[in-house]
Amino acid sequence: MVIKVFRTPIAVTRKGWISNLLHKPKKRKVTMVIVHHTYKPDLAMWKANPKTDLEKGAYFWKVIDRFHRSKGWNGIGYHGLITPDGLIWLGRDINEVGAHTQGKNGTSIGLCLLGNFDIEYPTSEQWATLKWALAATIYAYKLTVNDIHFHREFANKSCPGFHIQLTTLREAVERTLKDAIPIFRQLGG
């Protein structure tokens, strides 16, 4: 018998993601963070949706969750989905194995940006949240910026899109860490 766990979409701010990482006991060894993009839905679909940002975030989270379930997975495969407004929608619990990168799920955290970054660029809010979320994740798991990877390194895909460069992202996270570490320590990490 397969037990399906149904989750409710929950959005957190950067501080919520950081707090979750710093205060939750680590029950599995994480050696990397893998960045993704949704491809579809993309930013044009986000902008065309007449709902509020919170309603859109919950709606697109559910779309992705249903798509992942249709593949036979136990719900959304990412640990976090970053929407264009900069919120992080919680996916799998950080102690739960993801379903986002074949062969790497057991030892990674998967963060996904909503959008198609082969033809679009992340919003400034997404970029800021991604940098802070990655900084917090590598800090919490005692990793380095070199432990940040793209899905395309492990699969024949463009993910997270060719408009995002790994070196640029790692450098941005390194700069963010300089400001973030005192904040993380203040928050109890």
**pLDDT for residue 21:** 87
Query: pTM of the entire structure?
Result: 0.93
pLDDT in tens, 80-92: 999 999 999 999 9
Could you tell me which residues come within 8 angstroms of residue 101 by beta carbon, excluding any fewer than 6 positions away?
Answer: 34, 36, 108, 110, 151, 154, 155
**pLDDT for residue 6:** 52
Closest CA to 100 of 88, 112, 89: 112
Omega before residue 41 within 30° of 0, cis: yes
Between the alpha carbon of residue 33 and those of residues 52, 67, 99, the distances in Å are: 30, 22, 13
Q: Tell me the C-alpha distance between 134 and 67, whole Å.
A: 25
pLDDT in tens, 166-182: 999 999 999 999 988 88
pLDDT in tens, 4-34: 445 678 888 888 898 888 888 889 999 999 9
